[in-house]
Amino acid sequence: MNSRVGPYTFKIFRQDVEEVFMTSLLDIKQVPQPLPIGRLDYRDGPTWPSVAELAIPASWPSGLYLARAESTGSAAATTIPFVVRTATPGSQAGILICIPDTTYEAYKCWGGRSLYGFRSSIAPGSQLQT
């Protein structure tokens, strides 16, 4: 995640009946722009430098979590879902959480294209930076 509108924070919530605030990563600095987007980054992810890390404490229960990136500027917040799994599989409730990562990846046009040619914002055969 990077911002063109200044520093930002991540607020981490556990999804329960209501969102439960867990922690935050404060004052994350932006990286100099623009960062290159390689030809296959839409599929493989970029090789950009890490700007922050979060070590999940052992005390956090398994479940669905939301990382909400909020800019100090005027941009809208972006929410990134992720799942925390128990250290001992099968030791907690037998409920399956499924996040459709493939669906998110398939229909977004990050990096100049989606996984579907008809949803791509670049012409077939065009070259992105490599």
- pLDDT tens digit string along 81-130? 888 888 777 776 667 777 777 777 677 666 666 667 655 555 444 444 43
- pLDDT tens digit string along 43-78? 787 888 777 889 999 899 888 999 998 876 666 778
pLDDT average, residue stretch 25-48:
78
Give dist(CA 25, CA 3) in Å, integer. Answer: 15
Task: Retrieve residue 73's tokens.
Answer: 């500027």
pLDDT of residue 37: 78
Q: Residue 89: which residues within 8 A CB-CB, separation 6 or more?
A: none
Is the sign of the CA dihedral 57, 1, 128, 126 positive or negative?
positive
- The full set of domain ranges for the chain reads 8-95
What DSSP element (H or E) covers 66?
strand 63-71
- Enter the pTM of the model: 0.67
